Amino acid sequence: MNLRRYAAAVPLAAAVVSLNACQLSAPPADPQRAAGQIAAAPSAAAPSAAPSSAPASSSAAPFDAAEVARGRDLAMIGNCISCHSAAGGRSYAGGGPIRTPAGTLYATNITPDDETGIGRWSAADFRRAMQEGIARDGRRLFPVFPYDHFARLRSDDLSALYAFFMTREPVRATAPADELAFPFGARGLLGAWNALYLDDSPWRDDPARSAQWNRGAYLAETLAHCGACHTPRNLLLAEDRRRAFAGAEVEGWEAPPLKGPAAGPRPWTGDELFDYLRRGGNDAHGSAAGPMLEVTRNLGQAPESDVRAIAVYVASLMDAADAAAAEPADADDTAQRRGATLFAGACAGCHGADAPRTLAGRPPLALTTSVNAASPRNAIQFVLHGMQRPPGERGSYMPGFDAMLTDDQVAAVLAYVRARYSPRPAWRDLPAQVARIRDGG
């Protein structure tokens, strides 16, 4: 994250400086919000600092079990635990860092702890946070928390989510202070940001579409907040709605475009998307990795009909036609031979045409999104870091090669893979891209 590239994005009245296209990073891991930040001198009307209602009593009547279960299903779709838990930390207790172009944030503790969590929050407080981005104490929340998506959630879904969170185990934990570059750290500017970008109109189904499509559209656009990663952002770090689902960079990975043609030679079907979202991979397209891996783990625990609906909706965004065949680019012979040698020794055991893994149904490289994508970013990530899963958990495992291969060697292997397995043009400037991604860029 290179802050030098960003001049101050001044309040709306001032001229907007020209910046490189900046894209918000992935959904946060665990952030713990510090108590420290006070809003800048509010020029626009500041939200009331007083809580919107009396605090919820911890001895209040227990929540209805069915509503809690429904809230749990919704929380799996919303992937809340991914941002609001730290690696190795307690569920929903916040604390992990979220890298963004504006700096690093830490998501809050949303367990029902009275002091450090949301234990005292009423349903109305919860609703105000989820739909307006205002915490119980009146502080504005950064839209890294996707309240701009949750703003259109239906009332009964919000109630179910509230019931779920208020029945989690309370954990006493406070997040580190956010580290945001000026002016992104100034919460007082968020009122203006909301005026520009917050759409809180009630959700309306499209009567021309099926009930399943509408359910999927509702979930994808609100709770699952797919656009928060898959839509590029503008200079003020709001999603660029004119380029909805055009793809974006997220925590070192590329969240591929969901609109338009597939990167690989075969288009996605609804069934393949459902399989991918539920299992974390599909044999005709590739495996979920990076931030998407946890999304699919949670969708694997959500109601099947809801995941199917999301798959139907996303499939409707994608082109159904096969990608046009492209002429393979001329490859540098020496580099290709070097890449072929490395591939034969390091990769072919699993990824060669007659390798056991390929025969057992893993996607052939030629079909995968990452090998065919315009950007080599995801392919580089796979080669450097493999596919990891938390210790003791089930899932595919690919070793990383960052310790074994130099940047030039990774570049040679990927140049070979691209030429050998994809009809698309060669990736440019691979060694420099490998070096940058290895360094966390």
Partner 1 sequence: MISLNVNGIPRRIEADAATPLLYVLRGELNLNGAKFGCGLGQCGACTVIVDGSAIFSCLAPVGSLEGRAIRTIEGLGTADLPGPVQRAFIDEQAAQCGYCIAGMVMRTQALLEQRPSPSDAEIRDHMDPGLCRCGTHMRILRAVRRAAGYLAAAAGSTGQRAAR
Residues at the interface with partner 1 (CB under 8 A): 88, 341-342, 344-347, 349-350, 356-357, 391-392, 397-399, 401, 403-406, 409
DSSP 318: B
Minimum CB distance to partner 1 smaller for 3 or for 404: 404
Minimum separation from the CB atom of position 345 to partner 1 (A): 3
Cα(316)–Cα(273) distance, integer angstroms: 11
At a CB cut-off of 8 Å and minimum separation 6, what does 314 contact? 216, 220, 226, 258, 268, 273
- What are φ and ψ of residue 270, in 5° steps? -60, -40
User: Distance between the two ends of the chain, CA-based, in angstroms?
Assistant: 6
Minimum separation from the CB atom of position 342 to partner 1 (A): 6
Minimum separation from the CB atom of position 89 to partner 1 (A): 12
Minimum CB distance to partner 1 smaller for 51 or for 395: 395
Minimum CB distance to partner 1 smaller for 198 or for 346: 346
DSSP state letters, 387-418:
B---TT--S--B---TTTS-HHHHHHHHHHHH
Minimum CB distance to partner 1 smaller for 181 or for 346: 346
Q: Are 230 and 215 in contact (CB under 8 A)?
A: no
Minimum separation from the CB atom of position 115 to partner 1 (A): 27
Cα(429)–Cα(245) distance, integer angstroms: 26
Minimum CB distance to partner 1 smaller for 145 or for 416: 416
Minimum CB distance to partner 1 smaller for 212 or for 406: 406
Minimum separation from the CB atom of position 92 to partner 1 (A): 20
Burial class (CB in 10 A: 0-12, 13-18, 19+), 49: exposed
- Hey, how many other C-beta atoms are within 10 angstroms of the C-beta on 327? 8
Minimum separation from the CB atom of position 352 to partner 1 (A): 11
Mark out the alpha helices in 151-210 (DSSP H runs). 155-166, 190-197
At a CB cut-off of 8 Å and minimum separation 6, what does 159 contact? 67, 123
Minimum separation from the CB atom of position 169 to partner 1 (A): 20
Minimum CB distance to partner 1 smaller for 68 or for 411: 411
